[in-house]
């Protein structure tokens, strides 16, 4: 791999570690703990949050009429999203073992936890569930597509793109014909970093559980 890209990847990993440390600090600052998939607040904090929550009747009274009229459009998107979720999950379940690509863990991307906040009313909680699912689904599909692209067409674009997936830095350079023929098989199976990351994540979970 190009040394510059390797250096950038290492820098990203370091930033991710710093981000994780900052998140842990926020847990103390806002008095909550993450226990598995549950988020728990101190009882006094939960009581204060409930006092801040806006009643549904007040929330609807203050809502912009145009916002209300967009609700059918927003929720109608959920139908194709559910089909896409099922189909893409089936795709990786059927194809990734054949390609020898590590499967994407859906739970790493679709995170639904904001409904546990007591300062949100029922409508706000429902909105947060929708957003957590929909945006997480897009990220989940993006990662599956990126790993698939690494197997079938690991070539960088000549033109600049606005969004890079996690596998893009490992792709071969645009126009590198010799590199494509010589390195294709190696690149399309270069998923060792994912296996290492999964092992590290499993070890961290085991340590948290002890």
Q: What mean pLDDT comes out for the span 100-108?
A: 95
SS3 41: strand
Is 80 exceeded by the pLDDT of residue 56? yes
Whose tokens are 């847990």? That residue is: 27
Q: What is the pLDDT of residue 198?
A: 67
Is residue 177 a contact partner of residue 140, using CB atoms and an 8 Å limit?
A: no
Q: What mean pLDDT comes out for the span 43-63?
A: 89
Is residue 181 a contact partner of residue 169, using CB atoms and an 8 Å limit?
A: no
Q: What is the pLDDT of residue 58?
A: 93
Is residue 187 a contact partner of residue 170, using CB atoms and an 8 Å limit?
A: yes
Is 90 exceeded by the pLDDT of residue 201? no
pTM: 0.80
Residues 6+ apart with CB under 8 A from 124: 54, 59
Is residue 201 a contact partner of residue 105, using CB atoms and an 8 Å limit?
A: no
Cα 196 to Cα 151, 166, 179, 191: the distances in Å are 19, 15, 26, 9
Structural tokens at position 127: 């909105």
């Amino acid at each position: 791999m190009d040394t510059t890209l390797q250096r950038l990847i290492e820098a990203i990993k370091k930033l991710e570690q710093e981000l994780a440390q900052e998140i842990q600090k926020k847990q103390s600052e806002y008095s909550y703990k993450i226990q598995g998939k549950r988020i728990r607040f101190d009882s006094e904090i939960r009581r204060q949050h409930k006092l801040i929550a806006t009643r549904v009747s007040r929330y609807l009274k203050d809502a912009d009429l145009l916002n209300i009229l967009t609700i059918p459009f927003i929720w109608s998107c959920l139908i194709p999203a559910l089909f896409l979720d099922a189909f893409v999950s089936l795709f990786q379940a059927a194809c990734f073992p054949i390609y020898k690509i590590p499967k994407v863990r859906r739970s790493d991307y679709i995170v639904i936890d904001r409904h546990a906040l007591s300062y949100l009313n029922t409508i706000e909680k429902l909105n947060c569930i929708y957003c957590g699912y929909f945006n997480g689904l897009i990220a989940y599909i993006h990662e599956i597509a990126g790993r698939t692209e690494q197997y079938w067409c690991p070539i960088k674009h000549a033109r600049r793109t606005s969004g890079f997936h996690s596998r893009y830095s490992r792709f071969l350079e645009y126009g590198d014909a010799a590199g494509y023929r010589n390195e294709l098989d190696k690149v399309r199976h270069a998923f060792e970093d994912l296996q290492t990351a999964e092992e590290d994540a499993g070890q961290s979970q085991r340590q948290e559980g002890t």
